[in-house]
Structure 1
C-alpha cells in the first residue's frame, strides 16, 4: 500500500509545482521508476495480515478472561489488554526479554511443540506480593525465588490455562494446555531454531500500582496445523455452517440440566389494608378459585400449564392436565 501523505506534505508538493521547482513530468517519471523494497530473509513474514487479525481477536478475548481470573485471585485492580501482535525470529524474541523473568513453558495438545508465556518481573512480583498478603508492590527478585514462591507462581499460572483454551475455542481449535515448566532464565530456553518465525502477542498488564508486559510466544511450527482456521474466510464459513451433532448434544444437555422456577397459583383474593392489619394467626382468607377448577402453573413467571391439585404420598402435588396455548383465555 502506498504511503499516505500528510496535509503538510501535500501543501509542500503543490507549492513546488506552482513555483516551478518540480514539474508534473518529473512526477510521472518518478512514478514509472521501479520501486525496490528491502526484504530480510532472516525475518520471513509467514503469517498474513488476515491471520494476524484473527490472532489479535483470539487474544483480546484471552486478555478479558485473564483480567477476570487475576482480579478474582489477587483481589486487586487488574487490567490486561492486547498491546501489539508481531511476527519475528525466535532469537529476536529471546533477546528482547529480561535476563531474569518468569517463563511458562506450555504444551497444548493436539498441537505439537511448546508455547511460551513470559511475565515481566514487575508484573510477576506484584502478583507474588499480593498472593503473600502484600499490597502488590513490585520488586525484581525473580532470580532468587524460593521453592514456596515458585510453587505459588506455578499454581497461579496453571489457573490461566483454562482461559487460553476457552479463547481458542472461537476458531474451532480444541487445545488442552498444560504447564510443563516454570523457568527464570531465557538463555536456557531453546525450543525452536533461532530463525524460526514466531508470533509474539504482547499484553499490557496493570496489577494494582504496578504495570508491565505479558508476552505470548507462539512458534509457526506449533500453529501450523491451525493456520488455515485463522483466515477470515474460514472463520466466516464456519459461522455459517450448521451446528455439529456433538455441539447440538452438548447444548441439549446444558439446557436439560438448567433449573427453572415453578410456582403453582392456587387462587387469588382481594382484601383491604385494614383487613390485612387485623389478620391474626389462624384467620382464613377466602380465595375466588372454586375447588373444582384447575390451578395455574407458572414457569419462570409465565403461565404454561393447568393442573389439578392433590397429594402424592405425604406431599402436596399437582397433576398437569393440559398446556396453556397463547390463544387460551385464562379468565374463563
Structure 2
C-alpha cells in the first residue's frame, strides 16, 4: 500500500517585522459635529463665569474664550501636551470618572504672581510650577472645576475631588489609554499674558449630558438674546487700574542718546499731541489728543485704539 505525500505548504512564514496595529475606537459617529458645536456654545457661559470670578480675585481683566471641542483618546491627548505642563486630575463621584484640567505654565505663573500682588507679567522662559506655586494656584484650579460642576451637574449630586497634579505627562499611569475624551480648549488672557486652558472630560460622561437627537440639539441650542447694557459690578468700586498716556514721534541715534545730559531739550513735532495712546493695564484701549484743562495736563478721548 503506497504512501500519499502531502503537498508542500504554500503559506509563507509570518514576518517578524510585522506588528499588530492597535484598534482605534475614535469613531466620528460617537458624538456628531452638530453636538460638538452645541458643546462649544454651552461652554461659552461657563467661560464667562470663570472670567468674572478670576477678574475679581486677580484684580485685573481675565478673559476665557472657547476655541475648539474635539474627541481624542487619553494617550493621544496626553502626548499632545508638549513642554512643561500644569495638569490637574479630578475624580467625579459617584461615577468615578477622571477629568483633566491643564493650564499653560506661563499663564499659571502669571496668575500666581497676581495673587501675590505682582504685575502678572510673562516670564522669559516657560517652566513648571514649584510646589509652593502649585499650592498658591490651587484655589483657582478648584474654581475651574467647581464652576464646571455647577454649570453641568445641577441636580445630579456630583462631587469633584482633586486626585493629583503633574508637570510631566510621562509619569502618569493611565489605566485605559484608549478611552475617549472630549477635549475643550479655551484661549485665555491675563493682561499681556496669553495662553490656553484645556478641559478633558470622558466622552461617556459627555454623552449623558448631550441631547439624544439632532432635533433636540437644535431646540436646546442657546438662542440669541438682544444685547443688554452691561451692569456695573459694585465689587469693582475700589479696584485701582493703572492708566497711562504715551505718544511717539521722536527718534534719536545711539550717539545722540549717549550724549544726553541734564538740561538738554528734546523737541517733538507739533502734531504729536494729537496721536496719544491711552493704555489701561498696559493694553492700548483709546487714542486721544493732548491738551490742558484747569492747569493740568489732559487727554481728550477721540476713539478706540486699533
Confirm or deny a common fold (TM above 0.5): yes
- Structure-2 separation of matches of 1:231 and 1:102: 36
Unpaired runs of 5+ residues, structure 1, are: 1-39, 240-332
3-state SS of paired residue (1:134): coil
Contact 2:89-2:164 at 8 Å conserved across structures: yes
Question: By how many angstroms is 1:75 displaced?
Answer: 0.9
Deviations 1:83-109 (A, max 9, x none): 111112222211211231111111222
In structure 2, the CA distance between the partners of 1:190 and 1:220, relative to structure 1 (3 Å rule), is farther
1:201-212 correspondence to structure 2 within 5 Å: 201-212=184-195
In structure 2, the CA distance between the partners of 1:123 and 1:101, relative to structure 1 (3 Å rule), is same
- Structure-2 separation of matches of 1:209 and 1:236: 38
Deviations 1:171-192 (A, max 9, x none): x655332322222221122445
- Structure-2 separation of matches of 1:165 and 1:230: 21
Contact 1:54-1:232 at 8 Å conserved across structures: no
Aligned partner of 1:36 in structure 2 is none
1:203-222 correspondence to structure 2 within 5 Å: 203-222=186-205
2:135 maps to which of 147, 151, 154: 151
Aligned partner of 2:92 in structure 1 is 108
Count, aligned residues: 197
- Structure-2 separation of matches of 1:144 and 1:207: 17
Contact 1:154-1:182 at 8 Å conserved across structures: no
1:73 maps to which of 51, 54, 57: 57
Contact 1:50-1:230 at 8 Å conserved across structures: no
Unpaired runs of 5+ residues, structure 2, are: 1-22, 222-306
The Cα RMSD (Å) is 2.8
Highest Rg: 1 or 2?
Answer: 1
Q: Quick check: 1:167 aligned with 2:151?
A: yes
Contact 1:102-1:142 at 8 Å conserved across structures: no
In structure 2, the CA distance between the partners of 1:196 and 1:136, relative to structure 1 (3 Å rule), is same
3-state SS of paired residue (2:100): strand
3-state SS of paired residue (1:143): coil
- Structure-1 separation of matches of 2:108 and 2:180: 26
Q: What is the TM-score with the length of structure 2 in the denominator? A: 0.57
Aligned partner of 1:180 in structure 2 is 163
- Structure-1 separation of matches of 2:113 and 2:175: 33
3-state SS of paired residue (2:128): helix
Structure 1 segments, 4+ long, off by >6 Å, are 235-239
- Structure-1 separation of matches of 2:201 and 2:107: 21
> Larger helix proportion, structure 1 or 2?
1
- Structure-1 separation of matches of 2:210 and 2:68: 22
3-state SS of paired residue (1:159): helix
Question: By how many angstroms is 1:136 displaced?
Answer: 0.7
Deviations 1:82-135 (A, max 9, x none): 011111222221121123111111122233320001011121111111112211
3-state SS of paired residue (1:160): helix
